[in-house]
Every structure is written in C-alpha cells, then in structure tokens.
Structure 1
Amino acid sequence: MRTQVAIIGSGPAGLLLGQLLTNAGIDNIILERSSKAHVLSRIRAGVLEEGTAAMLDEAGVGARMHREGLPHDGFDLTFDNRRHRVDLHGLTGGKRVMVYGQTEVTHDLMDGREALGAVSVYEAADVRPHGFDTDHPFLTYEKDGVTHRVDCDFIAGCDGYHGIARRSVPQAAIETFERVYPFGWLGIIADVPPVGHELIYANHPRGFALCSMRSTTRSRYYVQITAEERVEDWPDARFWDEVRRRLPDETAQSMATGPSVEKSVAPIRSFVAEPMRFGRLFLAGDAAHIVPPTGAKGLNLAASDVRYLFDGFREFYIEKSAAGLDAYSQKALARVWKAERFSWWMTNTMHRFPDQGAFGQKIQHAELDYLFQSRAALTMLAENYVGLPF
C-alpha cells in the first residue's frame, strides 16, 4: 500500500489528525494494534479547552459535543472547609471549557472517519516504522498472519506512552525528562447526579479529591491514594466515605452515591521527550509527553500537537513549503512545557506529599489563600486552565 501520511494509533490524536488530513485531501492510513471495541472502552479525560473543541468542529465531528457536552464557565477549589469559585469566563474575557468525555470524542472521530471512507486497520500486530531517517519511510505490520507494508511520505506516531513510535528512535537521538509522583488517583464512574454543576478540586489534610462529571446523570470522582494501593483495597463504601471526608461539610452532605460502573487507579507522572521529530517520523500526544491529570491537559496537549502537525502537512502538500514541519517540534514543545509547568503547579498545590511536613503544608495553605486574594494570580490559573493560544 502507498499513502502520504501513515498514522500509528487510533486514539484522539491519531484520529483527529487523520480526519483533518482527509478533509484536506491528504491521503492517510491509521494502524491500531488494539481492537476498535478496546479503544472505545478506554476511560480517560473529559475537559476540553476551547481550542480543542474548535478543532473538533473544524474536523466536522463537533455536532454531538455541542448537543450533549456541558459548557463550564468556572470550577471550585476547596480548602479549610471552604469552597471558592474560579470564574474562568470572567477572568479570561469570555472563554470556557467543555466537559465531554474522551471516549465520546474518540467515538465521534471514528464515526467521522468511517463516513469519509478513510482506511483504519485495527488489530494490526507488530507495527514497525522503518527508514524514517531517509526520504522513503515505510511501516510493516501483521494482520491475520500476513505481513503487510505501507510506503509513505511521513509517519505520525500517535500511539501513546507505551507505543512503538518513540521506542523506535535511537536512544542517542532523544532526551527524556520525567518526574514520578509518590501517589496515584483512584477514580470511579457512577450513575448518580454530580455534586455540583461544575468541577470541584479539593485540598484536604487527608489528600486531594476531585468531583467531576460526564453528564448530568453520570459522575466521575477521584481521590489521592498512595502509590502502593490497589483497586481491591477500595470497595465502593470506603471510597464514598473518603470523598465525603475531603469535601466541605455542606458539599459532602449533598453528594449522591451509588455503585461504581468503573473503578481504576492512575499513576501520576510528568514526562517529556525531546525533540518530537526524527527525520520523517513525528511524535504527537502521549507518545511524546505525559502530564498529571490535575490540570486537565493530556487530551488538550494531544490536540495542540495535531494543530501544529496538521498545519505543517497542509503547508507541505498544498503550499509546497516544509517550514511548518521544520518548526513542528519547537512549536509543540514550547506549548508542552507551559502545560507541564501548569500541571506541576496544580499538582503541587492541591496534593499532600509524604515528605511535605508542617512547613510545606503551611506554604501550600498560603499559596491557596493568596490565590483568592489576587486577581492576577487567579487570572494566571484561569488562562492556563482554559488553554493558552496555539
């Protein structure tokens, strides 16, 4: 097979890139090692920046998001048994975020791709990129016991942190930066109404908690746990009791509970790989970077990578210029590191650390207290939360 852009991975990054390329008349194929059902079963983030929502509209798949998504003009931070609202809309000149699950984004992009007749190969085993340091890169993969080859102009590695794209790069050509946090998030989904109409981030002596939602009838809750704890350690009753302890009294009393639909533990880490281009291989999304979920930046960073990468491909094929592709890594990483900084700040401000001590807790309290006495500090938080410009 011959194509212009071969994409590894059918998560949101790969699917969004493929949709934009197909709409622009640029031929592409997506290879995915998992089944379509498995990809759609992944439970991930659910807060979209305005820029991400606009890209879904540009890709022609935003209609259901606007029908079913929940626009949010702010969110709450709680500490000292008090609840404070961050007015995103007022602090950023009218910007907001959209609460719409990543699973739904993936579903919409898959449906859009099928409607356009673009090619996706699921359960493609042993995908391997070759020759990306030459002018003639290609991919190989196995399907139903047969080895296939895809010749292409470029390869887009959108296959996540554990994917083959980044691992195919020679070690000497890539530098990685990582911080692993000494705790995780235990998250559950339950078919109960959310405790508030916007997200609630809680700082508490027992640890961090987050009250989120997927709809007006489905809630998503998280609590900070130690790195050693497992899902089996947390029956539903213990989880709900712990969430209540970490919320202001009035909020805890109004919270509805019910059996969990899904329950999982997510480790918390920061990770960046530099550069994000190696010859004719480009990395995008989790293949190149991971952020703590505290700042709601993971999916949005993947979308911003796609913004720069798609613009580069469009310039290359339509305007006959390689300038966008040559600038891709530098542009993407500048935004990545700003998001890493914000996610690091949110994580350090809202969580309890094992070695924090009494002094560290006082500093954390002072940080939160100052935040709500300074419009400038709140504006910094709001600008980053709604998403910096591309």
Structure 2
Amino acid sequence: MRTQMGIIGAGPAGLLLSRLLALQGIDSVVLENRSREYVEARIRAGILEQNTVDVLTGAGMGDRLHREGLEHRGVYLQYPGVRHQLDFPALCGRRVWVYGQTEVVKDLVAAQLAGGPPLLFDVSDVAVEDVDTDSPRVRFTDADGAARVLECDVVAGTDGFHGPSRAVVAEGTGQQLWERTYPYAWLGILADAAPATDELIYAWHPDGFALHSMRSPSVSRLYLQVDPSERIEDWSDDRIWEGLATRFALDGWELSTGTVTEKSILPMRSFVSAPMRRGRLFLAGDAAHIVPPTGAKGLNLAVADVVLLSRAVVRLLQDKETDLADAYSDTALRRVWRATHFSWWMTSMLHTTGDPFDAQLQLSQLRRVCSSEAAARELAENYTGLPL
C-alpha cells in the first residue's frame, strides 16, 4: 500500500488528522488495532473547548454536535455551604460544549467510511520503520491475517500511551519523560437521570471531590473521588448515590437519581514526553501526554496537536518546507505544559488529601476564585481553551 500519511490509531486525534489532511488534498490511511464497535463504545471525555468545536465545525463535523451537544456558559464551584457560578462568556467571551468523545468518534468514523480515506480496523503487529528517512513504512497484519506494508511520506502516532509509536521516538531521540501519579482516583458513573443542574458542578467536600456533569437532557455523568486501591465491586449503586448526595449537599437543592448504566474507576496521572517527533514520525494526543480529567483538557489537547500537525504536514508535503514540521514538537509542548499545569492546579485545589492544612489552603483558593474577577478569569480562559 502507498499513501502520503500513515496514521496509527483511530481515536479522535487520528481520525480528525485524517479528515483535516483530506480537506487539504493529502492522502492518508488510518490503522486501528481494535474493532469499530470497541472504538465507538469507549467512554472518555465529554467537554469540548470553544476551539475544538470550531475545528470540528470547520471540518464538516459540526452538524450533530450543534444539534445534540449541550452548550454551556460556565461551571459551578462548590464548597460546604457555597455554590458559585463562573460565567465564561462574561469572563473571557468563550463557552464550552458537553458532547462525549464517543460521539465525536462516531461522527468521524462515519465520515471516514462514507468515501473518506481508508480506515482499517482489527490490525495487529504494527511496527514503524525507517522514520529517519524520507520514506518511512508501517508493517502490520490486517484483519484477515495478511502481512501488509504501508509505504508513507510521513507517519503520525496517535496510538496512545501503550502504542508502538512512542517507543520508536524514545529509541532514537533520548526522549525525556515527566510523570506524576496522583494519590486518588475517580469513580465515574453514567445514569439514566435528568441532570439536576444547568452547568457542571465541581464540588470540594471533606469526604472528597465530586463532579456533576451530563451527556444529554436525560443522562447524567457523575464522579466521586476515591482511593486508587478501591474496587468497583465494593461500590453498590446505593453507596454511590449516598456519597454523591453528601458531597453535593446544598440547602434547597436535590440530586436527581436513576438507573446506573455504567461505572468504572479511573486512576489519575500526568505524563509528558519530549520530543514529540523523530524524523518523519510525529506523536499526537495520548501518545505524547496525559493529563488528569479535572481540567477537561485531554481530548482538547489532542485536537490542538493535530491542528498543528496537519498544518506542518501540508507545508512539508505540498510546499516542501520543513519549518512547521521542525517547530511542531516545541510549539505543541508549550500548550501541553500550560494545560498540564492547569489540570494539576484544578486537581490540587479540589481533591482532598486528609491533611487539615491542605484543606484550609484549598478552601482559601476556592474563596479567591469565587470572589476575584481576575482569579475567575484565569480559570475561565484556561478551561474554555487558549487560542490555537
């Protein structure tokens, strides 16, 4: 097989990259080691920055997003006895949308299979070769068990932390790694319950953090801070609802409950690797960085990566200029570290440690954000997405 851009991984980063390149006349082939059903069912992030919505809309992926997505003007910050609304348009002129990553992927897959560039599911034994030359290749076994070779001009590794691409970059560049594992996790549920709030609620409570989000007018997405050692089997639905009700408690307000349709425990960590490039192999999304979900940055960072990368690839292959490709890693990492800091800051402000001193510092920070326009604007600017 021959293509201009080989893309490993059919998550939102790889699929959107293929779409953006196709709109600029660049051919690609997307390889995915999972089935279509698995890819479209993965429950992930649900908050889209203004920039992400604009990029998806510009790529022709905005119809269902604007029809079914929930536009949000802010969030609530809560601590015992206080629930304060941050008005994002008033603070920074931007908004966010609630539209699950699962839905973004479904839209991108449907567009790809409806006459878009080739998208191959259920591949295995993926190996990237000759990335230090102008003719890299990707070897793989297709869904029928046949050995295949994909000859490329450029390769994108959008295959996540455990994919083969990151290891290839690390082998040839002396890649640096920065990582932090947080001493808490999120127990997340999907529930057939109408959201009890018009905006997301980020709640600090002595028992631990809680987040009230939503996926639709009839489906809520809720999270509880738990210890990473907890087992999901030990959390009955009643125990989960009781914990949520306690942490969201506020006079005059009541939590909506319903049937829990999905629950899982998500460990939390930060991870950044540099550089995000080796020769003609470029990393994007979780292959290069992971952030805790508190700041809603993971999917949005992946979109920012592929916007930069698509511009660099078009300039490299059509204009034969290397400037954007050479600058890609440094440019992307500046945004990655900003988002990593914001995610760390939100996480540190809202998750309890059991230390009374930490608790007072967190409450002081929350009061500051809720009472200072400057502090609130800083949160709003970062949450809704800095300019690409």
How would you bin the TM-score normalised by the shorter chain? Answer: over 0.9
Distance (Å, rounded) in 1 between the aligned partners of 2:60 and 2:281? 27
Q: Is residue 141 of structure 2 the alignment partner of residue 142 of structure 1? A: yes
Query: Which residue of the partner structure matches residue 186 of structure 2?
Result: 185
In structure 2, C-alpha distance between the alignment counterparts of 1:162 and 1:81, rounded to whole Å:
43
- Other-structure match for 1:370: 368
| 2:302 paired residue number | 302
Q: Which residue of 1 aligns with 2:378?
A: 380
Partner letter of residue 229 of structure 1? E
Q: Which moved more, 1:62-71 or 1:314-323?
A: 314-323
Deviations 1:295-325 (A, max 9, x none): 0000000000011000111222333322111
The yes-or-no answer on 1:169 pairing with 2:197 is: no
Query: Structure 1, residues 187-242: CA drift from partner, whole Å, max 9, x if none?
Result: 00011101101100000000000000001111000000001001111111100000
Distance in 2 of aligned mates of 1:117 and 1:274: 32
Maintained 8 Å contact 2:77/2:202: yes
Task: Give the Å deviation of 1:116.
Answer: 2.9
Query: Could you report, residue by residue, the CA deviation over 1:75-97 in whole angstroms, capped at 9, with x for unpaired residues?
Result: 101002210001111000x2100
CA shift digits 1:48-92 (9 cap, x unpaired): 001101111121111100001111001101002210001111000
Partners in 2 of 1:19 and 1:195 — Cα distance?
37
Q: Which whole-Å CA distance do the structure 2 matches of 1:373 and 1:131 have between them? A: 56
Contact 1:4-1:26 within 8 A present in 2 as well: yes
Deviations 1:11-39 (A, max 9, x none): 00000000111121101000000001000
* Residue 6 (structure 1) shift: 0.1
Q: Are the counterparts in 2 of residues 285 and 302 from structure 1 also a CA contact under 8 Å? A: yes
After TM superposition, give the deviation of residue 162 of structure 1 in Å. 1.3
Please list, as runs of the form range in 1=range in 2, the aligned pairs for 1:2-21 lying within 5 A after superposition. 2-21=2-21
Q: Is 1:13–1:158's contact at 8 Å kept on the other side of the alignment?
A: yes
Any stretches of 5+ residues in structure 1 without a counterpart?
Answer: none
Maintained 8 Å contact 1:78/1:248:
no
Structure 2 match to 1:77: 77
- Alignment-derived partner of residue 125 in structure 1: 124
Q: Do the aligned residues in 1 keep the contact of 2:157 with 2:282 (CA within 8 Å)?
A: yes
Please say which of residues 242-251 and 144-153 is displaced more in the overlay.
Answer: 242-251
Alignment of 1:204-353 (within 5 A): 204-250=205-251, 253-353=253-353
CA distance in 2, matches of 1:105, 1:3: 25
Which digits, 9 at most, give the CA deviation of each residue in 1:336-388, with x for residues without a partner? 0000000000000000125xx22111111111111122111101000000001
Secondary structure, counterpart of 2:294 in structure 1: helix
CA distance, structure 2, for counterparts of residue 326 and residue 162 of structure 1 = 25
Comparing 50-59 and 297-306, the one that deviates more: 50-59
Q: Shift of residue 250 of structure 1?
A: 3.3
Task: Tell me if the contact between 2:353 and 2:359 (Cα under 8 Å) persists in the aligned partners.
Answer: no
Deviation at 1:40, TM superposition (A): 0.7
SS of alignment partner, residue 141 of structure 1? strand
Structure 1 residue 117, shift from structure 2 partner:
3.2
Q: Is the Cα–Cα contact under 8 Å of residues 81 and 247 in structure 1 kept in the other structure?
A: no
Q: Verify the 8 A CA contact 1:22 1:28 in the aligned structure 2.
A: yes
Conserved? CA contact 2:6–2:154, under 8 Å:
yes
Task: Measure, in 1, the Cα distance between the counterparts of 2:51 and 2:203.
Answer: 27
The percentage of aligned residue pairs carrying the same residue is 49
Cα deviation, 1:275-302, whole Å, max 9, x if unaligned, reads 1011111000000000000000000000
- The Cα RMSD (Å) is 1.1
SS in 1 for 2:262: strand
Q: For the residues of structure 1 that align with 2:208 and 2:78, how far apart are their CA atoms?
A: 12
Q: CA separation in 2, counterparts of 1:170 and 1:156?
A: 15
1:91-134 C-alpha deviation (Å, 9 max, x unpaired): 00x21001101000000011111223310110001111111112
Superposition map of 1:42-61 within 5 A: 42-61=42-61
Equivalences for 1:28-43 in 2 at 5 Å? Answer: 28-43=28-43
Q: Which amino acid aligns with 2:72?
A: H
2:305·2:332 contact (CA, 8 Å) conserved in 1?
yes
Note the residue ranges of structure 2 that are not aligned, 5 or more in a row: none
